[in-house]
Amino acid sequence: MKSIFTIIFVCLAGISFAQTPKDNVVFNSLKNEKDTSLLKKKIDGFSNSNNESEVTSVVQYYIGLLKLAKADSLALVSAKRFPQGKYAFKLALSNLNRQADPIDQEAALEKIRNDFPDKTGTNELDLTNGTIALNFAKHNSTAKALKYLSLTLDRGRFVLPIVNEFLKYDMKAAAELLDRTIVGLKEGARIQSVPIPKNSQLFRFQIIYSGVLLKLGKPEQALAQAKEVYDELKPASAGEVTITYATALAASQQYKRALPFLEEVVSEGKSNDAIDSLLMNVYEKVNVGKDAKRHLDSLRQVLITKKNIETKNKLLNLPCPNFVVTDENGKKVTLADFKGKTIILDFWATWCGPCKASFPAMQMVVNQYLKDPNVKFLFIHTCESSKTPQKDAVEFLKANNFSLPLYMDLKDPATNKSPAISLFDVQGIPTKFIVDGQGQIRFKLTGFEGGMDGAHAAEVSAMIDIAKKTSL
């Protein structure tokens, strides 16, 4: 097992000789020594020195040569030889960070403070306080998390991760922490008489705070936070700020003001099922008796029409391989089983983050074509790393309420490869193929851009519509 110093030195491996202080006499004497026998004597002498800075210079020399194993070994020797020294301190911090239990980390920190009193209040321990605070938050200990966060000077980098943990079990604490942080940032800017930059952490905290306040049933306070950010940033296109502002307006029953913002979000392809439902609800409040679903479809169609124009340039005409996959019941299906139908092959795996992130958008597309017997979807689980791939896939879809037609591309024991995806020469997942009724690949999509469910759904829908026409 590698020691901690190997990890440190890998991070430092890019350090060149030129980046080492020019006044480091020991380092320079090693760097400039041309006689190999003299160099070895110098290295041995400095490595066994009772002066830690000389030993450290040899470690730095090894790092510069990318001899990380030697650097690692000498650093460990130094940690033992100088128990209050640089590497002893780093080793103690490393051991603390390896502790899974925050109580153990707390005890380790107290020992470090006793063993290295000169390090109290330094940036290195400041970071450790924040790390322990986050670990306590992960273990549902709000009071301890806040205690150690308060000891951290650079709190900004830890607030959001801790808030995200609080939201899992203590939403009120998350709201209070965000509120204190926002007030502090504003006060700091006021005292310093400096303008707040457009990419300020403050605005990010306010948008998150607005969402938390909505969940706590405080729409007016949520609206105040979201409006302040929206008025300051005046976003040129729809995004998280617009969505939060529109949601807060709707929650505050300001439906006429909320509607155009929600329409903008849908029209720009930034929506998801929740936003679509909110838009329909708000539309019905503003336009009593009118068909909200038709209005939503009209907004979507504008986007699909736009995507139609864009996607025509991506049109392919390649023969689809005669793949074989199995459905959830173990029945084999092939390309021939879908003759005359437009099919969408979505290769994915439970270990693939972007694959799973694309599913809300794909669920929107599946829902759109539920009543079309000539459009079929195959969500093909492939390249599995688990011993129970089908069980994993079924459980994932069920746990996340996805009704997506599941097929399996199980590995061939002889080749240890998934045969279906191998036929398509896919280099990465998620990858989607839209195949027309004549068995020709018309479109290929690779990857997924998060936060664009509506746009992604519209693009796939446009490709399906074009593929359907080529089948006629």
Strand order in the sheet with 431-435: 318-319, 440-446, 431-435, 342-348, 375-381, 406-408, 324-327, 332-334
The residue type of 184 is G
Residue 125 is inside which H or E element, if any? helix 123-138
Read off the tokens for 177: 């922490």
Q: How many CA atoms lie within 13 A of 110 on its CB side?
A: 6
What is the CA 10 to chain-centroid distance, rounded? 24
> What is the percent of the chain where pLDDT is above 70?
93
Convert the pLDDT of each residue in 325-373 to its tens digit: 999 999 999 999 999 999 999 999 999 999 999 999 999 999 999 999 9
pLDDT at res. 139: 97
Is the model's pLDDT at 180 over the cut of 60?
A: yes
Q: What does pLDDT average to over the chain? A: 89
Read off the tokens for 188: 């700091």
Residue linked to tokens 């670990």: 135
The pTM score is 0.71
**DSSP-based helix, strand, coil % in the chain, nearest 5:** 60, 10, 30
CA distances from 40 to 35, 47, 313, 426 (A): 9, 10, 65, 52
pLDDT bin (cut points 50, 70, 90) of residue 12 is: very low
Counting beta carbons within 10 angstroms of the beta carbon of residue 82, is it exposed (0 to 12), middle (13 to 18) or buried (19 or more)? middle
Cis preceding linkage at 430, omega within 30: yes
pLDDT mean over 16-39: 77
Beta strands of 213-296 (E only): which ranges? Answer: none
Is the model's pLDDT at 4 over the cut of 70?
A: no
- Residues 401 and 358 sit within 8 Å (Cβ to Cβ): no
Higher pLDDT, 20 or 78: 78
Residue 441 is inside which H or E element, if any? strand 440-446
Q: Residues near 10 by Cβ (< 8 Å), separated by ≥ 6?
A: 68
Lowest-pLDDT range, 166-170, 257-261, 386-390?
386-390
Residue 369 is inside which H or E element, if any? none
Is the model's pLDDT at 261 over the cut of 90?
A: yes
> What is the percent of the chain where pLDDT is above 90?
61
Q: Residues near 434 by Cβ (< 8 Å), separated by ≥ 6?
A: 342, 343, 344, 441, 442, 443, 444, 445, 460, 463, 464, 467
Read off the tokens for 344: 């969408």
